[in-house]
Amino acid sequence: MPSPDLKSLRARIERINLHLLELLSQRARVVLDIHALKRRQGIPPYVPEREQEMLARLTASNRGPFSHETVRRLFREVFRASLGLMERQQDQTYRISRGRRRGGFTFAVGGQTVGADPILIAGPCSVETPEQMERVARRLAALGVRFLRGGTFKPRSSPYSFQGLGVRGLEILRDVGRRHGLVTVTEVVDTRAVETVMRYADVVQIGARNMHNYELLREVGRGRTPVLLKRGLAATIDEFLGSAEYIAAEGNERVILCERGIRTYENQTRNTLDIAAVPLLRQQSFLPVIVDVSHAAGRTDILAPLACAALAAGANGLMVEVHPAPAVARSDPEQQLDLAQFRRFLDEIGFPWQPSPRRRRRPASRASPAIGPATCATRRASTAA
């Protein structure tokens, strides 16, 4: 019998390749069925012991010519690809996934709409005195800003730093907010305080240090109060969305994602503002996305350019810190604008906002203006799917 020629051997390889591909596809479909079953039964998707058992059986059955190590390496790649397939399927089934809600998502809080034209949240890092909050709230209301922030429970790096006024701070924030018709935003740091904070505030904030506090996320998810969730100091976008899903999975989908900069090697700013996170978050989730420029910069001289960049990237709003006398502020004095600086900041970013360009027809022949202080608030990227 004649020896096979090169052409016939290559033909056999092609048939084997196609057969392997079909087997891999069959395996992937079974993997997805297993993943669906595990989700229903609450079993973790990845079990390392199971992977080791399969590798042991494969090497025991190996008759060559591949070495045992080569077989292990090949099948580890198959296992890794299968795990990635399960993770992608899980991402697509998130309640907050863009694929589950193609249209825009908006919700009302305190008579204001979140998720449409940009919102602006402003106020001091910490609630310190009734007089301080009255001055800020009066100024915000006069300028047309409708959201007032102020920390009442402060997670600080040092245990000896000012930790906030607690319930007394909540009372001050609530009272000045009501007096001036402002939506109030404040942070909650403890599961035991969630009910109390929700009684006083219109929006509860989960700070960067608590983004991974899953019990706290679940607790605010059980409430009806909107949640402003800040990205962790070094959290990936996937981890950030996973934390938001913890809240939504408990029934509360009124979540605002807040990019506030991540920790890098750069030391000229407090954090590094991840502008790319804004369009990426809006591509992957229907939740509104805002940017906290104060915590990203840690300084006041570059807040307006950062705000313009955030709005141009498609942010649904901004957060900025404002204090009547930053030099004597009890926390983060270097990053808070005084009242005069705040007014100039608003002028630079074009506040009050003009209608979004997506809501009006622009003549096709007209060239788009360059992004700058006078136009950044109206040049919002259309990133929603």
Pair (75, 117) in one structural domain? no
For residue 244, the cross-strand partners are none
Task: Tell whether 367 is covered by a domain.
Answer: no
The Cα-based distances of 289 to 117, 317, 383 in angstroms read 12, 7, 11
pLDDT at 368: 31
Helix, strand, coil shares of the chain, percent, nearest 5, are: 50, 15, 40
Same domain for 268 and 240: yes
Beta-carbon contacts of 198 under 8 Å, excluding residues fewer than 6 positions away, are 188, 204, 220, 223, 225
In a domain, 98, yes or no: no
Q: What is the CB neighbour count within 10 angstroms for residue 161?
A: 12
Judgement on whether residues 19 and 140 belong to the same structural domain of the protein? no
CA atoms of 306 and 134, how far apart (whole Å) = 28
Residues 150 and 289 in one domain: yes
Of 92, 124, 145, the residue that ends a domain is 92
Same domain? For 84 and 190 the reply is: no
Instruction: Let me know: does 267 contact 296? Beta carbons within 8 Å.
Output: no
Helix (H, G, I), strand (E, B) or coil at 6: helix
Phi, psi (degrees; rounded to nearest 5) at 207: -75, 170
Beta-carbon count within 10 A of 40 CB: 8
Give the amino acid at 141: A
Contacts 24+ apart (CB under 8 A), 48-56: 51/76, 51/79, 54/79
Rounded to whole angstroms, the Cα distance separating 170 from 196 reads: 9
pLDDT in tens, the chain (385 residues): 567 789 999 999 999 999 999 999 999 999 988 888 877 777 777 788 889 999 999 999 999 999 999 999 999 999 999 988 887 766 567 899 988 887 779 999 999 999 999 999 999 999 999 999 999 999 999 999 999 999 999 877 788 788 889 999 999 999 999 999 999 999 999 999 999 999 999 999 999 999 999 999 999 999 999 999 999 999 999 999 999 999 999 999 999 999 999 999 999 999 999 999 999 999 999 999 999 999 999 999 999 999 999 999 999 999 999 999 999 999 999 999 999 999 999 999 999 875 444 433 333 333 333 334 445 644 444 434 4
At 108 the pLDDT is: 97
The pLDDT of residue 161 is 81
Considering the domain architecture, whether residues 85 and 154 belong to the same structural domain is answered as no
Can you tell me the distance from the alpha carbon of 234 to that of 320, in angstroms, rounded to the nearest whole number?
21
Which residues constitute the domain of residue 349?
A: 105-355
The CATH number linked to 311 is 3.20.20.70
Cβ atoms of 176 and 148 within 8 Å: the answer is: yes
How many helices and strands, by DSSP H and E, does the chain display? 12, 10
> For the chain, how many structural domains are there in total?
2
Do 134 and 50 lie in a common domain? Answer: no
> Does residue 122 share a domain with residue 76?
no
Query: Does some domain include residue 339?
Result: yes
Tell me: do 57 and 197 sit in the same domain: no
Q: Could you tell me if 62 and 112 lie in one domain?
A: no
From CA 147, how far away is CA 109, in angstroms rounded? Answer: 10
* 53 within domain boundaries: yes
Judge whether 376 lies within some domain: no
What CATH code is carried by the domain that includes residue 84?
1.20.59.10
Q: Are residues 259 and 349 in the same domain?
A: yes
User: What pLDDT, on the 0 to 100 scale, is given for residue 2?
Assistant: 64
d(CA 197, CA 204): 7
- Indicate whether 135 belongs to any domain: yes
Sign, CA dihedral 227-228-233-234, equals positive
Output the pLDDT for position 354.
Answer: 52
Angle at 278 between CA 272 and CA 279, to 5 degrees: 135
Examine the fold and report which residue of 47, 62, 92 is the final residue of a domain before the chain moves on: 92
Tell which residue, 237, 308, 301, 310, has the closest CA to residue 269.
301
Q: Is 97 a domain residue? A: no
- Is 204 in the same domain as 340? yes
Nearest of 211, 203, 212, 255 to residue 230 by alpha carbon: 211
Give the tokens for residue 303. 């807040």
Round to whole Å and give the CA distance between 268 and 308. Answer: 19
pTM of the predicted protein model: 0.75
Q: Specify the DSSP class assigned to residue 356.
A: P
Q: Facing residues of 292 across strands?
A: 319
Q: Is 204 domain-assigned?
A: yes
